[in-house]
């Protein structure tokens, strides 16, 4: 098949590279000439494990190419994926669909022959209807079927998620699109790829509802963690006991500083706005969004308490800046709110992240960025684990104790057992468990 992917950001680049690896001929298009030039030199603009190898091998095989020219890529394509950004619209929180609609207008003149246009971008219910209206209004003769094909890629494991998905959701109104979408994903399985066909509006809602539900699980266990601290329970035992129930499951029941990233914050907000627009307010989602925003601020006060309540003149070390490990994504990362709170309270901050430092430099000022864990710990009054990178799971505590001003560890991800840290003479503070 010939596939064109419009938008070479995270979703577009991963999807394009994976489809090419299946054997399809893929062209990724983007208006950013500098990005396309870099990609044509095998320079990947984002950090995603394995993506650089996937891109370079498929470029070398002639299956994957990058271009700023939309019409040559789309003309003759069997399938066109719209994978542009849908950030929260400034002022009201709705998803900004201007990029999606701009692409639809451009596609109208470029489509040649019957083409399936699939929206990969996360979009509110009804967006596919508007994309189809734009296409047909701009080019009434276009032979096109518009489908919704939401992505469910986790940053840090996106390639595995694409190639070994739990399900592939495809929402369509034109049955001609079923064969095209089935063929696109056919290489996933020797027998039957996990395709779930539904209506276009249902597919759009599935994406938002899935993310909102997972965000609620995170927020729920964070509130249970606070209760555990108050009554003397252990949130990790509680979460494990809950997760052993197959109806609940263990995933996303890890207490911490709250969720961030490119999806959960903006998607919960967009779903809230959709509910309000249609007169069906989603109270659980609204509360989830509000509680998580507050969580990031209040969790920072734990650091303040760990050093005796006064941060002025203190130096705090931060381990982990990205919202999760195995990515360089800093969007809505809890570390941002924590660092701003520490700075507002008069503390100096030293920080280290294996991949996120370059992104962090563009988002926060006044931070000393360290070269490794022990550089970040040099002279600090407390060390705070914010992101659970593997590099932080086997810290050399005797070495840390020598370089730190005070042996205080605040573990916001519960990586360690308290006894393993305390036996080295550290004051250890975690989430949802008894602290010293």
Q: Convert the pLDDT of each residue in 109-120 to its tens digit.
A: 999 999 999 999
Per-residue pLDDT band at 91 (split at 50, 70, 90): confident
Q: What is the model's pLDDT at position 434?
A: 72
* C-alpha distance from residue 158 to each of 10, 13, 100, 326, 400 (Å): 9, 11, 22, 10, 34
On the CB side of 102, CA atoms within 13 Å amount to: 13
Per-residue pLDDT band at 436 (split at 50, 70, 90): very low
Radius of gyration of the chain measured on its C-alpha atoms:
24
Q: What is the model's pLDDT at position 191?
A: 65
Which domains are seen in the chain, by residue range? 2-198 (3.40.50.720), 200-436 (3.40.50.720)
Please, what is the end-to-end C-alpha distance for the chain in angstroms? 61
Mean pLDDT of 419-430: 96
pLDDT tens per residue across span 195-237: 999 999 999 999 999 999 999 999 999 999 999 999 999 999 9
**pLDDT for 90 beyond 90:** no
**pLDDT for 420 beyond 70:** yes
**pLDDT for 147 beyond 80:** yes
pLDDT tens per residue across span 300-348: 999 999 999 999 999 999 999 999 999 999 999 999 999 999 999 999 9
Look at residue 369 and give its three-state secondary structure. strand
Give the mean pLDDT of the chain: 95
User: pTM of whole model > 0.75?
Assistant: yes
Helix or strand (DSSP H, E) at 41: none
- Report d(CA 81, CA 15) in Å as an integer: 9
- Report d(CA 10, CA 283) in Å as an integer: 31
Spatial contact of 376 and 350, defined as CB atoms under 8 Å apart: yes
Q: What is the model's pLDDT at position 225?
A: 97
Q: Which of 138-142, 238-242, 294-298 has the highest mean pLDDT?
A: 238-242
Tokens of 279: 């007169």
Could you list the active site residues?
Answer: 263
Report the DSSP pairing between strands 315-319 and 382-385: parallel
Per-residue pLDDT band at 435 (split at 50, 70, 90): low
Q: What is the largest CA-CA distance in the chain?
A: 75
Mean pLDDT of 175-196: 90
**pLDDT for 60 beyond 70:** yes
Tokens of 374: 């022990």
What one-character-per-residue DSSP string does 57-124 give? HHHHTTSEEEES-HHHHHTT-SEEEE----PBPTTT--B--HHHHHHHHHHHHH--SSEEEEE-S---
Per-residue pLDDT band at 29 (split at 50, 70, 90): very high
Q: What is the model's pLDDT at position 92?
A: 82
């Amino acid at each position: 098949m010939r596939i064109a992917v419009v938008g070479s950001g995270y979703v577009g680049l991963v999807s394009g590279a994976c489809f090419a690896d299946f054997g399809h001929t893929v062209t990724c298009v983007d208006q950013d000439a500098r990005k396309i030039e870099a990609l044509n030199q095998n320079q990947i603009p984002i950090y995603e494990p394995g993506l650089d190898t996937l891109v370079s091998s498929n470029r070398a095989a002639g299956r994957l190419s990058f271009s700023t020219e939309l019409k040559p890529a789309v003309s003759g394509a069997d399938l066109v994926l719209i994978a542009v950004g849908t950030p929260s619209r400034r002022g009201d929180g709705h998803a900004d669909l201007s990029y999606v609609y701009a692409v639809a207008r451009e596609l109208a003149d470029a489509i040649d022959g019957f083409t399936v246009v699939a929206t990969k971008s996360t979009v509110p219910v009804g967006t596919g209807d508007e994309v189809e209206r734009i296409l047909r209004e701009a080019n009434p003769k276009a032979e096109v079927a518009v489908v919704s094909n939401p992505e469910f890629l986790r940053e840090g494991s996106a390639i595995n998620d694409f190639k070994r998905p739990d399900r592939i959701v495809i929402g369509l109104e034109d049955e001609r699109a079923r064969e095209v979408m089935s063929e696109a994903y056919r290489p996933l399985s020797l027998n039957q790829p996990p395709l779930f066909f539904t209506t276009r509006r249902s597919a759009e809602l599935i994406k938002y509802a899935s993310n909102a539900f997972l965000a609620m699980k995170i927020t729920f266990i964070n509130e249970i963690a606070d209760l555990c601290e108050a009554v003397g329970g252990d949130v990790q035992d509680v979460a494990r006991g809950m997760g052993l129930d197959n109806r609940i499951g263990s995933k996303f029941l890890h207490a911490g500083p709250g969720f961030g990233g490119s999806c959960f914050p903006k998607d919960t907000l967009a779903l809230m706005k959709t509910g309000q627009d249609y007169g069906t307010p989603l109270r659980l989602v609204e509360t989830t969004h509000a509680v998580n925003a507050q969580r990031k601020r209040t969790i920072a006060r734990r650091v303040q308490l760990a050093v005796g309540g006064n941060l002025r003149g203190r130096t705090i070390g931060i381990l982990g800046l990205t919202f999760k490990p195995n990515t360089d994504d800093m969007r809505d990362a809890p570390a941002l709110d924590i660092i701003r709170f520490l700075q507002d309270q008069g503390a100096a901050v030293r920080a280290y992240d294996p991949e996120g430092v370059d992104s962090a430099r563009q988002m926060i000022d006044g931070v000393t960025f360290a070269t490794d864990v022990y550089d970040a710990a040099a002279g600090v009054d407390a060390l705070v684990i914010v992101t659970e990178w593997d590099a932080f799971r086997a810290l050399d505590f005797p070495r840390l104790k020598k370089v730190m001003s005070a042996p205080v560890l605040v573990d916001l991800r519960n990586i360690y057992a308290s006894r393993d840290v305390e036996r080295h003479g550290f004051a250890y503070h975690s989430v949802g468990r008894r602290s010293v």
